[in-house]
Amino acid sequence: MVQTIKTYYRKEYFNFPVQELYLLATDNDVLGIFFNVESMDKYIQDNHNDTPNPGVNQVLKDLISELTSYFDGKLTSFTVPVALYGTPFRMSVYDTLRSHVQYGETISYQALAKTSGHPGAYRAVGTAMKLNPLPFIIPCHRVVHTDGSSGQYAGGSNLKKHLLSMELSHV
């Protein structure tokens, strides 16, 4: 479903310690954190009827502050307001991941499917992780294969391994 929201702000090329990120927000909520501009543009096209305005508002300033603290190992959960869109299945998986898997912990795709009330839907959980517009806030990097291997990640498998290692070193 396409939503019309009057004002977006986008901050391109914000250099975090691990890589550049593209940030998208309204005046009230964070809409997305993207690893490339193409992913952000596709998200906007698929979900919103508006063109982002360049610039940084207070929501993005707060997000940048929290991301910086997270990458410095000083923040273990995010408090910035978010607006999340998706199917009821994806929303239940995101809610379960955010509420049940803490900083420095991991969960398998299979266990996340079961915990979110969808046993056997582990491939669909993988798809939900791939479509997650709020990595870090909805910590899809904490979802791994049953054998403990890291699996894929929108930001690349090396970044996923780095994030898991970083979190473990600060627990």
Task: Give rounded-to-5 percent helix, strand, coil for the chain.
Answer: 40, 15, 45
Closest by alpha carbon to 27, among 1, 79, 2, 63?
63
Which helix (H) or strand (E) segment is 9 a member of?
strand 9-15
Q: Out of 80, 112, 140, 166, which one is annotated catalytic? A: 140
DSSP 10-74: EEEEEE-SS-EEEEEE-SS-EEEEESSHHHHHHHHHHHBSS-PEES--HHHHHHHHHHHHHHTT-
Whole-angstrom distance, CA of residue 55 vs CA of residue 8: 9
* 140 among known catalytic residues: yes
Quote the tokens at residue 69: 């603290």
Residue count of the chain, please give it.
171
* Active site amino acids: 140
